[in-house]
Amino acid sequence: MASFFHELSLIPMFCFFLLLPHIAISQRIISVGTGIVAGDDKARGHWLSPSGDFAFGFRQIENGNSFLLATWFDKIPEKTTVWYAKGRGRVPKRLVVPKGSKLVVTSDRGLVIDDPKGGFSWSTDTGASRVTHGFFEDSGNFGLKKDDKGTAWETFDNPTDTILPGQEITKNGVILISRGSGSNAIGEGRFQLYLQDRTVQLRTVNLPGSYENEPYYSSNGSDASTNPGEGIGFNGSTGYLYILHQNREKSPLTTGSKVVSGQDYYLRSTLEFDGVFIQYSCPKSVSAGERKWSAIWLVPDNICNNTSMERGSGICGYNEICTTQLIRGRNACGVGDPSSSQDEVVLDEVANINWPTSDYALLQPFSEDECKISCLRDCMCAVAIFGGDMCWKKKLLLSNGRYEFDTNTKAFIKMRKNGSEGSPSSGSNSNNTLIIAGSALLGSSVFLNFMLMGAIWLGFFMIYHKKWSRFFKDESGLDVNIRCFTYTELEDATNGFTEELGRGSFGRVYRGDIDVGNGSNSRTEVAIKKLDRLFQENEREFKTEVLVIGQTHHKNLVRLLRRSVDIEIGGEDKVILADWAYDCYREKRIDALVENDEEALSDFKRFERFVMVAIWCIQEDPSLRPTMKKVMLMLEGIIQVSIPPCPFPFSTISTV
């Protein structure tokens, strides 16, 4: 009987030893000094997890001689990468090493990568801890144990763009960063998933800086002050993502999604390059279905329609259109690169100018050289403003340009190189013009003042000096092609109006001879009609007479060659405005020119100055007329206006 009970007591111990193989294979141990080589044909350049589901090591990039240090699913055809090492720098990129690089587990520096020549390339940050060994779990987590049995470093604490079942990331702030695409395929993407108290948010970043735009997605959450969140986790048994709170409570993030067992399916949640956070499943066996990833939950559900950002370049970037593919769960952007050829444009540097309302992107922290390069590569950028460690990129149309002497900033204005033709961007239209943004800063006050004074001067003479300067027209609109003569020319032609031929109802006719411009030296004998006065009722009769004679051609009728008409003013003492105005000035009664206009007479000295300037401007001798610049200075009272002489020695009205 005693032997029977003794045998029964051995059963628990026997069961314990049966469980030891299962406990041992859940974690693979990598001893200190063990290493792998990238591209080694004789040995695999990676370590496998105990189940073989995951691999950790060097992964070749597109059949080239470059490799990534990564973790990936090894049993499925796609061999999806779920973690990768990042290089050093302000904006880290995926660590790319050449063939022949070696990864070794060391006791003092943790994981260390040396290049083929033995030079240092990368290492983990283990601090002062001494590493005893490395481990690789079936969950996909690779880590380093330290001498006090704690963990010195592990991939689950340094996520990239993917969360795996069993992973719990306890930190506020950025949790996942998407991968790059297009020309930035090896770098980090512009989308981030981060935890803000209890709310999970998605947002964009202005690359290559770190300035964060407003969120384009936020999860629902209660008052974060009572139970703030401190991390995000992935429950492998239920397949749900959750938010971990400070009191260790868990609130589900993927509510309402399809539940998939972690025993039959591989699971992962990835922040994709296009900004969508997606939970995927893939059958572990062929019998469970086709072995490829299927989306079972995602946010936002439709990134093109459910997001609206007032600042930044939007979800897909500038000059791109967001489209939703037919397969549920895959929203895609055209992978474009808003870059222009740097060989066709240059940057002109101007200090202390700014267009405060035209910026579309802020890059920070940034150096001056990085600001220049970013603007040169961006076809949307017309001007970049740099100050401190901030770079504002601005696009056309530039508005509210101004000098800001107290800001200590620099403006880099994009200009086309001399002699360059075509568009600086291969995709832009050929009618793009040079960006001459500096002209926007030129003040228009001088030009406006010039136009204002010119309008005042012109308006004064248009109101009080209505001149017949156009050809006569009959009622049918036909022009009479006759030229105006000056009074002096007519006086010379008639020898001072000495030989009178006849007299009409409102004028006298004199004999004269004149050169009509027919190419000969001989002069043509003409008849010149000189009006005694021009009353209002005689105006139509006079114009009709000139019109009829000018259009009539008869052998017994002399041809009307030209006519000379001065201004019509009511009253016999105001027959010629120029003479009359000068007489008013000389007799110091210029108030008659404006006929008791109180506004004009309110500043009499100013009005008198205007009249004197006007008399200087109508001098018959061109050498006496002032330049326009001098006219402006005289009108503004900057220079003294001298007493003008008589504009011409005669004053009358004459017609040919």
Q: Tens of pLDDT along 434-456?
A: 444 455 455 455 566 667 777 88
172 with 301, same domain: the answer is yes
User: C-alpha distances in angstroms, 279 versus 50, 180, 358?
Assistant: 25, 19, 39
Task: Please indicate, yes or no, if residue 174 is contained in any of the structural domains.
Answer: yes
Q: Band of the pLDDT at 139, cuts 50, 70, 90?
A: very high
Residue 348 tokens read as 């002109």
Task: Please indicate, yes or no, if residue 216 is contained in any of the structural domains.
Answer: yes
Q: What percent of the chain has pLDDT over 70?
A: 67
154 with 217, same domain: the answer is no
311 with 186, same domain: the answer is yes
Residue 279 tokens read as 């939970």
Q: What is the pLDDT at residue 460?
A: 67
Does residue 230 have a pLDDT over 60? yes
Task: Please indicate, yes or no, if residue 374 is contained in any of the structural domains.
Answer: yes
358 with 325, same domain: the answer is no
Q: Is 530 annotated as a binding residue?
A: yes
What average pLDDT does range 515-530 have in this prediction?
70
209-223, 363-377, 603-617: least confident range: 209-223
Question: Domain holding 421: CATH number?
Answer: 3.50.4.10
CA distance 296 to 281: 7
- Cis omega before residue 92 (within 30°)? no
CA distance 637 to 618: 19
Task: Please indicate, yes or no, if residue 200 is contained in any of the structural domains.
Answer: yes
Q: What percent of the chain has pLDDT over 90?
A: 17
Alpha helices in 379-529 (DSSP H): 445-464, 487-493
327 with 387, same domain: the answer is no
Average pLDDT, the chain: 75
What average pLDDT does range 418-437 have in this prediction?
44
Q: Is 591 exposed, middle or buried (0-12, 13-18, 19+ CB in 10 A)?
A: middle
Distinct helix (H) and strand (E) counts, the chain: 10, 40
Q: What is the pLDDT of residues 28-64, one digit of tens each?
A: 899 999 999 998 767 778 999 999 999 999 998 876 7
Query: Of 472 and 368, which is predicted with more confidence?
Result: 368
250 with 269, same domain: the answer is yes
288 with 209, same domain: the answer is yes
Q: Band of the pLDDT at 470, cuts 50, 70, 90?
A: very low
Size of the chain in residues: 656
- Cβ(408)–Cβ(370) below 8 Å: no
Question: Domain holding 551: CATH number?
Answer: 3.30.200.20
**Domain end among 108, 131, 158:** 158
pTM of the full predicted structure? 0.52
CB neighbours of residue 479 within 10 Å: 13
CA distance 363 to 390: 6
Positive or negative torsion for Cα 311, 316, 319, 321:
negative
Task: Please indicate, yes or no, if residue 627 is contained in any of the structural domains.
Answer: no
Q: What is the pLDDT of residues 87-109, one digit of tens each?
A: 876 667 788 899 999 999 999 98
Task: Please indicate, yes or no, if residue 209 is contained in any of the structural domains.
Answer: yes
136-140, 316-320, 416-420, 423-427: least confident range: 423-427
**Domain end among 419, 441, 463:** 441
What average pLDDT does range 1-9 have in this prediction?
49
Q: What is the pLDDT at residue 541?
A: 66
Q: What is the pLDDT at residue 469?
A: 46
Q: Is 250 exposed, middle or buried (0-12, 13-18, 19+ CB in 10 A)?
A: middle
Residue 89: partners with Cβ closer than 8 Å, 6 or more residues away: none
Q: What is the number of domains present in the chain? A: 4
What average pLDDT does range 543-554 have in this prediction?
60
Q: Band of the pLDDT at 137, cuts 50, 70, 90?
A: very high
Q: What is the pLDDT of residues 300-317, one digit of tens each?
A: 887 776 665 656 566 666
125-139, 355-369, 526-540: least confident range: 526-540
Task: Please indicate, yes or no, if residue 111 is contained in any of the structural domains.
Answer: yes
Q: What is the pLDDT of residues 268-296, one digit of tens each?
A: 999 998 889 999 999 988 776 678 898 88
Task: Please indicate, yes or no, if residue 3 is contained in any of the structural domains.
Answer: no
147 with 74, same domain: the answer is yes
Domain with 241, as residue range(s), is 167-337
Q: Is 536 exposed, middle or buried (0-12, 13-18, 19+ CB in 10 A)?
A: exposed
CA distance 303 to 463: 67
Q: Band of the pLDDT at 17, cuts 50, 70, 90?
A: very low
Query: Of 592 and 450, which is predicted with more confidence?
Result: 592
Nearest 5°: phi and psi at 146? -110, 175
Question: Domain holding 72: CATH number?
Answer: 2.90.10.10
